Amino acid sequence: MKVKDCLNPGQILCVSPDLLEECLKSAGYFRLKAQRLRHFCRWYLAAGGFDALQSWPTHALRSTLLAVHGIGPETADDMLLYAFERPVFVIDAYTRRLAQRLRWIIGNPSYDKLQQLFEHSLPNEVSLYNQYHALIVIHAKTRCRKQKPKCESCLLQSACHYTRDHPPADPSPLNTASTCFTRRGGNRAV
């Protein structure tokens, strides 16, 4: 979108729907996202833009964002934390996965309940929420992955129940043997 010079709401509304879809194609569901982005931009400009919205109380701004078609709790809270610099903790799949594996939560609590857990456990500071969430995302992408987590190199291993519930498989003779197979199906020592 940067290359197409479409980085503000007015510009986004001026480009053709086809060009906007092309810009969003790598994101998946690009047609739906293009429609929702255009809808949000219309609402944003009609509400007076950033300066007008910045003056709103956090609760009112969050409620209004949630009423905009296509904006859910995570997106609204992303905007509140990162754009409007409000102390609102963002809950996403990474946060939920880490909380479940560390057994900070049991089952699948609602977005709001999980958000309350973090907001009541941490000081109410924008910079802390921002950094804490960013560290969770980095950790979940590099170590606490959904598929094939790297538990053996995780600093949270001693507190993690996932590690205890899913110990590494015992090395089998096939994994440790010093043989490999040739293309013809025979084996040879390595």
Q: What is the DSSP string of 22-73?
A: HHHGGGSSHHHHHHHHHHHHHHHHHTTHHHHHHTS-HHHHHHHHHHSTT--H
The alpha carbon of residue 22 and the mean position of all alpha carbons in its chain are separated, in whole angstroms, by 23
CATH number, domain at 148? 1.10.1670.10
Q: Does any domain span residue 124?
A: yes
The pLDDT of residue 166 is: 82
Residue 4 confidence (pLDDT): 56
**Domain for residue 62, yes or no?**
no
Tally of domains in the chain: 1
| Residue 84 is assigned to a structural domain of this protein | no
Full residue range of the structural domain in which residue 111 is found: 89-167
pTM: 0.80
Q: Do the domain assignments include residue 31?
A: no
What's the whole-number average pLDDT of the chain? 87
| 27 lies in some domain | no
Give the residue ranges of the chain where pLDDT is below 50. 171-190
Are the beta carbons of 87 and 124 closer than 8 angstroms? yes
Amino acid 183: pLDDT: 43
pLDDT of residue 137: 96
> Would 9 be classed as within a structural domain?
no
Provide the pLDDT for residue 26. 80
The pLDDT value recorded for residue 24 is: 87
pLDDT at 2: 54
Quote the CA–CA distance of 105 and 98 in Å, as a whole number. 9
Q: Which amino acid is at 97?
A: R
pLDDT of 45 reads 96
* Separate counts of helices (H) and strands (E) for the chain: 11, 2
Query: Tell me, what's the pLDDT at 131?
Result: 97
What CA–CA distance (Å, rounded) separates 147 from 149?
6
